[in-house]
Amino acid sequence: MAGFKRRGWCLSAPALLMLALLVTAPLAGADGEAGSEAPDSLEVYDPWEGYNRKIFGFNESLSRNVAEPVAKAWDWTVPDFARIGMRNFFVNLAAPIRVLNTTLQLKPVATLQEITRFAFNSTFGLGGLFDVATHGLLLPIHKEDFGQTLGYWGIPAGPYLMIPVFGPSTVRGTVGLAGDVVTGAVTFSAIGVSVPFFATFAAQAGNFINSQSFVHDDIDRERKNSLDFYVAVRNAYIQYRTNMIRDGSLEAGPAEADEDLYYDEAGEASGPELSEAD
């Protein structure tokens, strides 16, 4: 961050960071998460479980006592079209991250589509409030971020890591998140956008609450449906990110390793064994 300042860009370091976060957050998953996992393994490597569970507990109390009540109130008071418009706006703002990462993953068609999407949504979509690219041009979004790019190039996910406030990630995912933060900051300062720190902060907070307003019910439902919520979130996060790195796997089908999940007779292949098991 200090490097940007020395080169004379127009934003202070904290403002850069906040602007970048603002741009980054919509890319994160449904629960405001970011990071990624090795494509071929659903085994969870969680050597820091003790620490992670403590942070998870902290995040949970923050979510239950602050984020979810506020998001719920937002959900009830703000009409759907306004919340969706706001979500669209922030997703559109994060287009540079998707352009960069589709490029880094050698997906030229996706890159072109992201550039086209950004052009159309920023203009005809009134600054991104309306997602005309998806609904009018039938150009799908490509949710590529730096964590996925690292996974694409075979960088291992490393240990599962619970980040305070942000939520589940991995070591690779955290590096990816930092990469996206820098991407957002550099793009916007390069085109000379200057936003006061407090405004960036407020926008980021608003974006976060607005994003949560779509999922607060889901979070609560998953909490109630689980026997061990920490494990449920960890598993869901790993599966979600793995699926994203494979770009949905809808056409390709799941990896061979996944098949073992469905055959208990496969013995060894049927999930990691417990130490207590005979």
Between CA 102 and CA 194 the distance in angstroms is 26
- The site map against another protein for 249-278 (x = CB under 8 A) is xx--x--x--x-xxxx-----xxxxxxxxx
CA angle 194, 196, 200 (to 5 degrees): 95
- The site map against another protein for 178-217 (x = CB under 8 A) is ------------------------------------x--x
Segment interacting with another protein (CB under 8 A) among 3-11, 13-21, 175-183, 244-252:
244-252
Q: Which is nearer to another protein, 204 or 213 (CB)?
A: 213
Segment interacting with another protein (CB under 8 A) among 12-20, 107-115, 149-157, 225-233:
225-233
- The site map against another protein for 27-56 (x = CB under 8 A) is ---x-----------x-x------------
| 137 near another protein (CB under 8 A) | no
Residue 114, Cβ neighbours under 10 Å: how many? 26
Per CB under 8 A, which of residues 76..135 are in contact with another protein?
80, 84
Between CA 77 and CA 79 the distance in angstroms is 6
* DSSP state, residue 273: P
Q: How far is the CB of 244 from another protein (least distance, A)?
A: 7
Between CA 102 and CA 240 the distance in angstroms is 19
| 242 near another protein (CB under 8 A) | yes
Q: Is 177 within 8 Å of 147 (Cβ atoms)?
A: yes
- 3-class state of residue 162 by DSSP: strand
- 3-class state of residue 142 by DSSP: coil
Which contiguous run of DSSP H or E holds residue 160? strand 160-163
Between CA 220 and CA 140 the distance in angstroms is 29
Q: Which is nearer to another protein, 18 or 215 (CB)?
A: 215
Residue 242: CB partners within 8 Å, gap ≥ 6? 36, 37, 38, 39, 42
What are the residues binding another protein (CB under 8 A)? 30, 42, 44, 80, 84, 214, 217-218, 221, 224-228, 231-232, 234-236, 239-240, 242-244, 246, 248-250, 253, 256, 259, 261-264, 270-278
